[in-house]
Amino acid sequence: MTELETKSLPDNAYQPLKDGETYIPLVPASSAPPEVTWRAVLWGTLLCIIFSVASAYSTLKVGQGMEAAIPISILAIGLARVYSRRSTVLENMIITGMGGASAAVVSGAVFTLPALYILHLDPHPAQTVFICLTGGCLGVLFLIPLRRYFVREMHGKFPFPEATAITEVLVTGEKGGSQAKLLLQATSIAAIYDFFVTTFHVWKEYLNFQFVPVVRSLADRGRMVFNFDAVGFILGIGYVIGLRIGLIFCAGGILVNFVLVPLIWFIGSHMGDTTVYPASIPISHMAASDIYRNYVRLIAVGAIATAGFAGLLKSLRVIVGSFGIALHAFRHGEAPQMDRTDRDIPIGAILLGVVLCTIAVAVFFALLHVSWTVVAVGLALTLLFAFFFATVAANAIATTANNPASGMTLLTVIVSTVVLLKFGLSGTTGMFFVMALAGMVCVALCASGQFITDLKAGYWIGSTPAAQEKVKFIGVVASAITAGLTIVLLAKAYQFGEAAPGDLRQVLVAPQASALKAVVSGFMSGQPVAYMLFGIGAMITVVLEMLGLSSMVFALGIYLPLQLTTPILAGGFLSHLVNKRGEKIGGEHGKSIRERGIIIASGLMAGGALGGVIGAALHLSHWYREDLIQTPFYENMPVSQTVSALCFIGLCVYVWFGSIRKEKELE
């Protein structure tokens, strides 16, 4: 077979389709180049295992995992040149998708499973692997019926920032020429920039400008705190997201930092030493971060859950259509003829997979020596949350590239604990049961969020969805076994959470799991649920839906810290200016400006992810210290934050001039 000719993505790749218009991917449905080959599967599995081990340790130690899919897409391009027959872009997409499963499964596992060790419940290695495996499989299975809605029906309406970066890396790297040089240039700049800023003491990564007296006064007296994460990765995300979504996203953070937190502080500061549940200290003694963690975060969780339900209702038509295809197959023996690029694995196979997972989970719960009623209720909760949060995760990743995994897992723990307490489940058995259930749900929603990225990138490129879905299970199995066993080994060598008296082992803080441990142990001891806070969040979503706004984006803005949403808004403004310049110039040069902007933004995301991976790898070394490289002005807040702000502005200037520059200047 002749090597596939490469070309650019179609003009309507990132735009909503007009009436009667169809999207023809880079590799059209009529073509069938090599896709699922031994080289792709083996490399994908190997990279999945490597990134699973590294990410598990990194996340447990510093609370921040490794971004896997984008660096793996870059590695795939390099590996393609090793063989006499250069790997096709579809093979590279398979490698990226399989390897990307590592970050998803590991994130779900380390958010929850270490809590079992902190509670001294010490699960068997087979139980740890089973929780990872079952959750990952359920996440993939439940997402497949949603593929057509998020990937095809909503084409151009969701920005898919991470999928955009992966697609641009694979396509531009494959094509070569001046655009490949531009991608490599942006990737290198962001990799160096983000690596040094996040790994060493060169200048402050986070800006709060509290060295300015008026800003400091607002923080101290009113708990109004401004934060800004000045790194290239988030700037790239904001550029791809665009101005409108960036404004809605940042609006949620503004509501939190300048309305909700100050309002709670204003009321609570006049209450003296009175403690208001669910907090354990008076509001008058709280910093802004304490107010957010104890009160506003629960409002955000309620808003996200309600927005997810709204999104599920909107996607029901497409889900019903997918099951209609299955019904046709059962009646007539075969499904209607579909293009290669729109072919999923059979719905019958999906249903069989769900049934097998259901039976396996039921057996797992039964072996915990609980009543059959508790088994049935726990099974129902697992399936309900896993399916529901598949929609939440897909929606969140499609719009902002941020998966609210910890918030949705917190909601799972609270609801499951309250429900199961009604059926007599309590004590250590109850805590193990709830955390195992939450672990499956968390892995499922992380897998769903990551997989929708693969499917969208594959849609733009022209992959076969059924092929992506089949090999994804291989990636999930490899990552589940690797992540599960890695957690078991780390639990023997280290302590999770806090140091125990007399135990001389080094401590891995496992921040997310430590927080969930506190929640599940508290609720199992009979603490009430703050329904009012969840309800307030739900009503915020209802109001936004009534106004016709993107409730999920706003809810995520409430949940995520302002330090992430503000640089995203900066990227959105920059994208707006660049695109306006392209529209004003028009013609081929105007089109080139818009294309180059996307390529540079994708390079910033790719480079930022690479810098994060390298930095995380250094964290694993015993000789590493953040002050190995430290500038003389690092601790001087006015100077350090000013330098950081100027460097971030320099990145914006680079994006602007790199976008409007004519291509021949880079050749």
- The reply to whether 155 falls in a domain is yes
Which class for 372: exposed (0-12), middle (13-18), buried (19 or more C-beta within 10 A)?
exposed
Locate all alpha helices (DSSP H) within 277-426, ordered by sequence: 288-291, 297-332, 347-366, 372-400, 405-422
Give residue-wise pLDDT tens across range 99-147: 888 888 888 888 888 888 888 888 889 999 999 999 999 999 999 988 8
Q: pTM of the predicted model, to two decimals?
A: 0.83
- The reply to whether 23 falls in a domain is no
**Closest among 140, 95, 141, 129 to 479, alpha carbons compared:** 129
Q: What is the mean pLDDT of residues 553-575?
A: 90
- The reply to whether 444 falls in a domain is yes
Give phi and psi for 590, each to the nearest 5. -65, -40
pLDDT category of residue 475 using cuts at 50, 70 and 90: very high
- The reply to whether 503 falls in a domain is yes
How much is the pLDDT for 401?
A: 79
Q: What average pLDDT does the chain have?
A: 85
How much is the pLDDT for 426?
A: 77
Structure letter (DSSP) for residue 649: H
- The reply to whether 5 falls in a domain is no
CA 72, CA 64: separation in Å to the nearest integer? 18
pLDDT category of residue 3 using cuts at 50, 70 and 90: very low
Q: What is the mean pLDDT of residues 550-562?
A: 85
pLDDT category of residue 323 using cuts at 50, 70 and 90: low
CA 131, CA 484: separation in Å to the nearest integer? 8
- The reply to whether 18 falls in a domain is no
- The reply to whether 290 falls in a domain is yes
- Give the residue numbers spanning the domain of 215: 38-665
Whether residue 623 is predicted with pLDDT greater than 90 in this model: the reply is no
What string of H, E and C letters represents the secondary structure of 258-284? HHHHHHHHHHHCCCCCCCCCCCCCCHH
Token readout for 467 is 């092929």
- The reply to whether 537 falls in a domain is yes
Angle between helices 38-62 and 587-619 (to 10 degrees): 60
How much is the pLDDT for 1?
A: 38
Structure letter (DSSP) for residue 333: S
Region of poorest pLDDT, from 62-71, 178-187, 365-374, 398-407? 62-71
Q: How many domains does the chain have?
A: 1
